[in-house]
Amino acid sequence: MVVDRATLARPPDRLGDALLGTRSATAARVSTAVVTSVWLLLLVSVQPWSRASIGSSGQSSNASKGVLVAGCLLLAIVCARGAIRGRVPALWWYLLVYAGLAVASTMLIGGTLSVGTRVVRLLIFLVIPLCLWSHLRDSRTRIITAMFLSYLVFGVTTILGPVLLPDRAWQNGTPFSAGGRLVGPLLPMLPTRIGEIGAVLAGFAVLHWAFRRVRPLPAGTVALLGLALLVLSRTRTATGALGLGLLIAAVATLRSDGGRRLRRCLVWAIVAALPAVPLILAWVKRGQSTDQLSSLTGRTVAWNYIIHLPVDTTTLLLGRGLGHTSVFIRRPDNTLSLAPIDSSWITLYYESGLIGLGLVAAAFLTTLVMAFRARTPFVRACCVFLMTYLAIDGASETGLSDASPLLLMLMVVALASYADRRRPAAVSGGVAPCRSRFPNPARERQSSASHAGSGRTKPVKRRVAPGRSVAS
């Protein structure tokens, strides 16, 4: 191969490289803005839009949610680049079969129109991330960034509530000093939902700081915002999930620099919290009695009722259809009361039967394995943190059986871990490919020809076996 001397002496096109880098950075910012906008609209569409723990938000709210979901789908289709991704994470196949099971149970049991609407919304939620895959595959962390920014918008909106609308900021009008809990004054939300937003914000802020993705000052500000939401909403489950999620994320990334920084941060946080143990215990008790704490604020009553409820074979396998998130329980005084189920797994059994419960459990375990197998330590830490939060919060909150924030969180883990394993390390991680230590005759001949064409010679070293001469 002969190489021209003028070609070797030609200077690099610095202007072209700069323009190419500018275009790539602009395209990355546009993709992040698109994914964040769609994800923010999806999170708004799954809000209960009610401050009551039980009850419907009304037909107008349901219509508004339908318009938002349709707008998300339209925006995702318009912003899609190229064909829709055909090869998807295993989570999507499990959820597609689960949606088909929901359709079959609706037809067999004779569900209402609202059940069919929930199934259609679940299918739309599965299609939207596929339309966004062309924007997600370019970066390992784009979907994590989009989720972080979306939750930050919710957190800032919620924390401004007591300042702008103090009369509507607390549940039942009871202030925080009297045991009240923060609710969404601008966008109606339950205290548990606000606690979820605070836990995700605080956890992501700590992880971004530990892995040097964000500077300490903005990371600390966001972490304080998340902790403030947790304290004001008095959400114990989300607080415990935050601490355990960060601990398991530190264990999963123990060999990385970020994992070691995260471990030191947790140690210092525990030491700093020791003087405030009495205040923390009083906050955890929340003025409840021992019976209320042992029954998880009445949740176990509904769980025991559903588990011991006699059912036929069809209902045992297929359930009662989506939307049955509460049950009527007869009290000792012979009165009926509507009690929320407040457990994703019990709700799955009640709505979709044993088959639906098995499908979602398989999807959860598959996504958990993908989270621990993520290559990049930062992606692995974020995914493990979210999966830990889902495992804890899903046991006491409903969400994995329908389009909800918990299901969106599970999708984020699946998309981030899948993109991290599909993307080569030399492209996104900046790691050079490993060179072989064994001789390659074709590469040596090509290198010799290149140096010969440029007027230079480079001797080729031959590997000689022990006990033999070079001539042999």
* Whether 374 contacts 417, CB under 8 Å: yes
* Whether 393 contacts 111, CB under 8 Å: no
Given the structure tokens 């621990």, which residue do they identify? 372
pLDDT attached to residue 28: 84
pLDDT attached to residue 434: 41
Residue 327 is inside which H or E element, if any?
strand 326-330
pLDDT attached to residue 432: 39
CA dist 282 and 295 (Å) reads 18
470: β partners: none
CB-neighbour burial class of residue 180 (10 A; exposed 0-12, middle 13-18, buried 19+)? middle
Query: 3-state SS of 289-300?
Result: CHHHHHCCCCHH
pLDDT attached to residue 184: 81
Q: What is the pLDDT of residues 209-263, one digit of tens each?
A: 999 999 999 999 999 999 999 999 999 999 999 999 999 999 999 999 999 999 9
Distance of CA 161 to the CA centre of its chain: 26
Q: What is the pLDDT of residues 393-443, one digit of tens each?
A: 999 888 898 889 999 999 999 999 999 987 654 333 333 344 444 444 555
Predicted TM-score (pTM) of this structure: 0.83
pLDDT attached to residue 338: 82
**Residues lower than pLDDT 50 in the chain:** 1, 3, 7-10, 12, 15-20, 55-60, 425-440, 451, 455-458, 460, 470-472
Q: For residue 8, how many other CB atoms are within 10 A of its CB?
A: 11
Q: Is 440 left (phi over 0), alpha (psi -120 to 50) or beta?
A: beta
Q: What are the residue ranges spanned by the domains of the chain?
A: 28-286+296-422
Q: Which two tokens stand for residue 379?
A: 């992606």
